[in-house]
């Protein structure tokens, strides 16, 4: 099965954060997987296309989120604040929003969730470390902290109620790497789609944490704990290596953005 296979396994698939950077990429590409794709965000969704339902919803609105999840078979949760910033907006969208979503998922009997977590849950590991899904969390800011909460919340809902979740610790998913750091964290859109497909269609996933990265020449992450998903990245950042030629100018010994995997995030916060 490939990401282009026209499978109609789900009747209704919910995509939160559909107006965001990755949400806009996924909106059309996931349509073969469901009869109806319900897309949601605060704004910027435009008119519903063929096979779509458009619902504007604030994740901090408990009743609104409950109505949003009704009649959905599975959820792709890509909504919320996606950058480092002050705690209050992150708390409302990423922490309270995740709680509201899982409460609704439980109430409506949804059995599978794909949660867009982040590599910033472990951003304070060094770039010389090799990190797997069972190592302690080391978030690099309020944003990373909120994703740690989402991973723990989804674990609770699996252990207590059997709701399966795949948490995707996404690295950097853009058309191409923008910095030398992204040569390590790069996740192509095609590989992202394949990873989501595997997360949705693998018969049993329990509670899985998978790092979202392409087959790059350098890797900080050991994805063996998610091998049961069968995800095999096909792309690599190496095709963009000419954009970042080798240099003998090494960073300063105390340059935290190159010491730690979180890059600039480790020096951004806290923002009050």
Name, in order, each residue with C-beta under 8 angstroms of 104's C-beta and a sequence gap of 6 or more: 65, 66, 68, 69, 70
Tokens in use for 31? Answer: 């349509």
Q: Active-site residue 102, yes or no?
A: no
Average pLDDT over residues 85-93: 96
- Contact criterion met (CB below 8 Å) for 7 and 31: no
Average pLDDT over residues 27-37: 95
Kindly report the average pLDDT of the chain as a whole number: 95
Q: What residue spans define the domains of the chain?
A: 10-268
% of the chain with per-residue pLDDT over 70: 97
How many angstroms separate the CA atoms of 150 and 229, rounded? 20
Tokens in use for 261? Answer: 């995997």
Neighbours of 58 (CB within 10 A): 17
Where do runs of H (alpha helix) occur along the chain? 21-29, 62-69, 87-90, 97-108, 142-161, 182-185, 189-201, 256-259, 265-268
What is the tens place of the pLDDT at every residue in 206-246? 999 999 999 999 999 999 999 999 999 999 999 999 999 99
How many angstroms separate the CA atoms of 31 and 271, rounded? 38
Picking from 47-56, 72-81, 263-272, which range would have the lowest pLDDT averaged per residue? Answer: 263-272
pTM of the model: 0.94
- Residue 52 dihedral angles phi and psi, to the nearest 5°: -120, 155
What is the tens place of the pLDDT at every residue in 147-173? 999 999 999 999 999 999 999 999 999
Catalytic residue (one of 143, 157, 186, 231):
143
How many angstroms separate the CA atoms of 133 and 263, rounded? 20
Q: In this predicted structure, what is the pLDDT of residue 1?
A: 45
Beta bridge partners of 260: 126
Neighbours of 22 (CB within 10 A): 21
Tokens in use for 66? Answer: 């409950």
Nearest to 26 by CA among 189, 164, 141: 189
Q: In this predicted structure, what is the pLDDT of residue 272?
A: 81
Q: With 90 as the cut, is the pLDDT of residue 91 above it?
A: yes
Choices 3.30.530.80, 3.40.50.1400, 3.60.20.10, 3.40.50.720: CATH for 10-268? 3.40.50.720
Q: With 90 as the cut, is the pLDDT of residue 271 above it?
A: no
In the structure, what pLDDT confidence band is assigned to residue 193 with cuts at 50, 70 and 90?
very high
Average pLDDT over residues 7-31: 93
How many angstroms separate the CA atoms of 239 and 254, rounded? 30
Q: In this predicted structure, what is the pLDDT of residue 4?
A: 52
Average pLDDT over residues 258-271: 92
Q: With 70 as the cut, is the pLDDT of residue 8 above it?
A: no
């Amino acid at each position: 099965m490939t990401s282009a296979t026209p499978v109609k396994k789900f009747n209704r698939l919910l995509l939160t954060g559909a107006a965001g950077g990755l949400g806009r990429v996924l909106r059309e590409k996931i349509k073969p997987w469901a009869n109806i794709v319900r897309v949601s965000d605060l704004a910027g969704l435009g008119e519903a296309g063929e096979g779509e339902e458009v619902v504007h919803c604030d994740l901090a609105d408990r009743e609104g989120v409950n109505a949003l999840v009704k009649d959905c078979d599975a959820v792709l949760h890509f909504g919320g604040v996606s950058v480092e910033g002050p705690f209050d907006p992150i708390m409302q969208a990423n922490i309270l929003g995740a709680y509201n979503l899982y409460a609704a998922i439980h109430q409506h009997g949804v059995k599978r969730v794909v949660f867009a977590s982040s590599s910033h849950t472990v951003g304070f590991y060094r770039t010389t470390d090799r990190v797997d899904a069972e190592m302690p969390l080391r978030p690099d800011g309020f944003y990373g902290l909120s994703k740690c909460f989402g991973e723990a919340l989804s674990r609770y809902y699996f252990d207590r109620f059997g709701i399966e979740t795949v948490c995707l610790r996404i690295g950097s998913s853009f058309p191409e790497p923008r910095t030398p750091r992204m040569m390590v964290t790069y996740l192509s859109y095609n590989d992202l789609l394949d990873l989501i497909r595997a997360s949705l269609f693998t018969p049993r996933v329990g509670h899985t944490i998978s790092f979202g990265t392409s087959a790059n020449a350098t890797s900080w992450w050991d994805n063996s704990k998610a091998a049961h998903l069968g995800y095999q990245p096909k792309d690599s950042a190496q095709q963009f290596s000419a954009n970042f030629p080798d240099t003998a100018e090494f960073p300063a010994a105390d340059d935290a953005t190159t010491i730690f995997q979180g890059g600039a995030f480790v020096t951004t916060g806290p923002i009050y």
